[in-house]
Amino acid sequence: MDAQSPRARELNLPQAFLLLATNDADGEPDVPQPFLQAGVAGAILAELDLLGAIELQGRHVRATGIAVESDFQQQLDLIRHKSRPHTPKRWVSMLESRAEVHRIYEGMAALGIVQHVGEKHLALFRTTRYPEKDHAPEAALLQKVSAAMAAGSVEPAVVDPRTNALIALLHAVGLLERLFPEADRGRARELTYSHWPSHAVVEELRSVRLAEAEAAT
């Protein structure tokens, strides 16, 4: 089996989050763009945290100095070389990017997981969608999340950290309940209460809602 096959390697968290946040059939996000971008930014922080490249020290995110191989070296370098540390929420705000979302989609398209579909409107505007091409990676993710979400199945500390992080990120943007409507909300809180990147996403989205409410008045 090819080493680059999505079945042969585990997707990183931003890829996993984006895959579950995208409608299989039409390739459109199942959440508004601000939620999608904040979720991806939080997933980048969570990925770097899992790799040991960054950590939360008090109220601020700091680089650990550990050398890692990551698809998110640019974001890690930004954190490493920032003149002063920032809170997780501030980093989510700084790392939000439509271009980064597009880059991750294109990476999954190159792996054959999703398909790049471009459409022109009035010969001027171009939109891009990413419908699912290979369901196996998403099916594996859903199975892992479902097993972890089964109340009383395993203690939170025993749940795979990568799966736990994905659950926390999905919960932060409201997707966990949509994907698993019968899931125990208490179990979700149990699994996500200490996951700082997803809490930062929640705080950022709260700011977005407040800004939208103020703009509407």
pLDDT of residue 118: 85
93 in a structural domain: yes
Residue 2 in domain? no
The SS3 call for residue 2 is coil
> How many domains does the chain fold into?
1
User: What span, in angstroms and rounded, lies between the C-alpha atoms of 195 and 161?
Assistant: 10
Flag whether 158 is in a domain. yes
Instruction: Give exposure, 199-214, as e/b (b: 16+ Cβ within 10 Å).
Output: bbbbbbbeebeeeeee
Q: Is residue 147 part of a domain?
A: yes
- List the domain range (segments joined by +) for residue 93: 13-210
Q: For position 121, what pLDDT does the model report?
A: 65
pLDDT of 3? 42
Answer yes or no: is 217 within a domain: no
In a domain, 49, yes or no: yes
**pTM confidence score:** 0.91
In this structure, is residue 216 part of a structural domain? no
Residue 67, domain CATH: 1.10.3630.10
Closest CA to 43 of 61, 19, 17: 17
Tell me which DSSP letter residue 6 carries.
Answer: T
Q: Which residues contact 205 (CB under 8 A, 6 or more apart)?
A: 34, 35, 38, 172, 173
- 8 in any annotated domain: no
d(CA 208, CA 200): 12
For the chain of 217 residues, list the mean pLDDT of each consecutive stretch of 10.
48 98 96 96 98 97 94 96 94 97 97 89 75 96 92 68 96 95 87 94 94 82
